[in-house]
Structure formats: C-alpha cells, structure tokens
C-alpha cells in the first residue's frame, strides 16, 4: 500500500544574482554562473566557458535542481530565451542547451557551438550510486529565492534543503554532530556560505567559535554529517528498536518525514501541534519491533488496511511484524 503521508515540496533553490557559488548536486563541482560566463571548479581543476550572448540579459536565473541533480541557467538575451542544463550523465559532466537558438562560445579558449538539445562534454568524473532519498518538510511553501531564504534564516526552510542535498553524499563519519536548535543555527552560519556551499575555513568572521573538525575533513563530509544530524532529530534506530521524534524542538510544531529507510522497512510519519499524528510503515522482515514513542503517548490504534477498525495498543507493547505487510498507526492518546 502506498503511504498516505506525502510531501509536495520540491527542492529547487535559485538565485538571480550572477556568480553566486553553488554545488552541482551529488558532485564536488562548484559552479558560478554569469550571463555570459560559467566557472566550474573542483579541488584539482577549473573550467571557464564563455558565451556569445548579447546583454542586457533579462530574468537571469541560476537554479540548483536538487530533484534532478542538475543546475539550470536561463534568461533572455537579445538573441532570445536560453536554458542550459549542467549535469553529470554516466560520469560525464555535460552542458546541454535545452532551449534556445545556437550559442557559440569558448571553453578554456577552445571554441564550441551548441544548438537546441546539443551537449558539450566538459569533464569526465564519477557518478554516485545513491539510495532513494528521504524527504522532510515543515509545511513551508515559500519560493526558494535564496537571497530571501538567507535573509529570513528560518530553520523550517533550511533544514529540509540541507537534509535533501546532504543525502547525495556518502556518509562516512560524524564530523559535525549537532542536536540543539542553537547548534544548528550556528553551524549553518559558520560552515556554509553562498547557496548551501560547505566551507572548511571561516570566511564570514561573525565572531562565533568554530569547533575543530577532524583532520582531512572534506566539504562533502560536512554536508553528509549535517544530513545525519538532521535525521537524528526525528528518527533513530538500533538493532531492535526505533525512536520517533526523539529531539522535537518547540519551534517545529508540525512536519512530515517520509521515505525513511531502516533495517525494519520504510517509514513515514507526520506530527501536528507537537503531537505525533500518523505513522505508516511497510516491514521488510519478520520480528518483534520495539517503538520508543514520544513520552506523552500511552496508546494508539493499529491497522493493516484503511477500512479496518483496527486494535488499540499500549505504549510498551512490542509489535509483531511480518515482511511485506503495511501498518498504519494513528489516534495517539496521551
């Protein structure tokens, strides 16, 4: 059965500011897009692409499409509307002219020409084979114009973006363990710059103390560690137990967390007014599952089908689950 708990948010932050650095999702490529210039850099090499477009460029926008793992660059030059995709395809970094008339330019002084749907290979890299991503939302549906996101500096907007982006990088170690709301706010200010770009050095000079990172920590490890810390606020598991909403802050009264992958199966949950509302999961193995509920819950209803009346379960009861079966839990009582 498909979960009834869904999230409509799409994680596509954007900017109208030329040259604002951002990561190509799932890669180490740092991208700076201008109306007639594209800079791409890694730790080892950089590339410069110039375009023969005539300004002024109207509506110039660079969008980090975390859903499709690409960067989209678009606007309207005197020659007409243009839309570029920058993405990694089968280990090859490519620039694709998705819409627009012929565009000529140079890449590191070598000329190139792109017509509609043509692509240009920039570099050969490596593709990351990642699992299906989990999704988090706190019901914030504002447009993700990053200049405004930065000014608002609301964790309800920033945590879902950082969580979704951070999952695209392999988690190897906890380099930035966080738990308290204040810790997350300071970490985002201290370790991230521009459009969600992790930084190894202090480049803002805010007068805040940076904790020492483990030796040889990479920028990608900062992102992955941030995602791990965010996840642990809402879901944790051990060999035979799962923990639901173990660190729910008062500033996050409602939210949804879906596609949660665990050793017991896939979970989805939502909460409102600081109270767990629904939990859905499909078991992937047989066994007795212990659920550590938020402390105020004493009982709930368990169903296996939507039209089923269900049975009332007490807080301390273990759940006997069977692989392939979907469970729907609701009516949580204090």
Number of H helices, E strands in the chain: 4, 25
| Domain ranges across the chain | 27-124, 135-333
Q: State the average pLDDT for the chain.
A: 91
Q: Which of 119-123, 209-213, 226-230 holds the top average pLDDT?
A: 226-230
* pLDDT, tens digit, 9 for 90 and up, residues 304-325: 988 889 999 999 899 999 999 9
**Nearest residue to 311 (alpha-carbon basis) of 324, 297, 288, 328:** 328
pLDDT-based confidence at residue 211 (cuts at 50, 70, 90): confident
Q: Please choose, from the candidates 17, 25, 23, 58, the residue with its C-alpha nearest in 3D space to the C-alpha of residue 43.
A: 23
State how far the Cα of 72 lies from the Cα of 85, in Å rounded to an integer: 5
Closest by CA to 64, choosing from 137, 156, 155, 145, is 145
Instruction: Tally the C-alpha atoms within 13 A of residue 98's C-alpha that lie toward its C-beta.
Output: 12
Cis geometry, peptide bond prior to residue 296 (ω within 30 degrees of 0): no
Q: Over the Cα atoms of the chain, what is R_g?
A: 23
Q: Does residue 264 contact residue 285 with C-beta atoms inside 8 Å?
A: yes
Percent of the chain with pLDDT over 90: 70
Q: How far is it, in rounded angstroms, from Cα 215 to Cα 129?
A: 26
pLDDT digits (tens, 9 = 90+) for 9-23: 899 999 999 999 999
Rounded to 5 degrees, φ, ψ at 283 are -75, 145
> pLDDT, tens digit, for every residue of 125-183?
665 556 679 999 999 889 999 999 999 999 999 999 999 999 999 888 888 889 999 99
Residue 265 has pLDDT above 90, yes or no: yes
């Amino acid at each position: 059965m498909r979960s009834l708990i869904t999230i409509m948010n799409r994680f596509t932050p954007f900017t109208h500011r030329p040259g604002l650095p951002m990561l190509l999702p799932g890669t180490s490529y740092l991208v700076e897009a201008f109306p007639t210039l594209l800079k791409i850099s890694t730790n080892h090499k950089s590339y410069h692409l110039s375009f023969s477009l005539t300004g002024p460029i109207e509506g110039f926008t660079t969008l980090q499409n975390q859903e499709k793992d690409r960067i989209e660059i678009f606007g309207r030059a005197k020659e007409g509307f243009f839309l570029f995709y920058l993405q990694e395809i089968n280990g090859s970094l490519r620039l694709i002219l998705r819409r627009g008339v012929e565009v000529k330019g140079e890449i590191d002084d070598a000329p190139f020409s792109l017509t509609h749907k043509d692509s240009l290979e920039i570099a050969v890299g490596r593709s990351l084979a990642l699992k299906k991503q989990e999704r988090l939302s706190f019901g914030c549906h504002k447009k993700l114009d990053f200049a405004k996101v930065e000014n608002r500096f609301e964790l309800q907007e920033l945590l879902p973006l950082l969580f979704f982006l951070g999952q695209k990088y392999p988690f190897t170690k906890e380099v930035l363990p966080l738990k308290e709301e204040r810790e997350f706010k300071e970490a985002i200010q201290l370790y991230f710059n521009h459009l969600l770009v992790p930084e190894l050095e202090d480049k803002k000079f805010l007068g805040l103390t940076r904790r020492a990172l483990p030796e040889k920590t990479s920028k990608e490890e900062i992102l992955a560690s941030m995602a791990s810390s965010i996840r642990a606020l809402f879901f944790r598991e051990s060999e035979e137990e799962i923990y639901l909403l173990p660190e729910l802050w008062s500033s996050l009264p409602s939210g949804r967390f879906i596609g949660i992958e665990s050793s017991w199966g896939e979970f989805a949950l939502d909460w409102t007014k600081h109270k767990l509302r629904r939990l859905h999961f499909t078991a992937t193995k047989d066994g007795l599952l212990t659920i550590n509920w938020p402390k105020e819950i004493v009982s709930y209803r368990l169903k296996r089908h939507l039209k089923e009346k269900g049975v009332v379960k007490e807080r301390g009861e273990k759940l006997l689950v069977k692989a392939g079966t979907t469970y729907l839990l609701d009516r949580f009582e204090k």
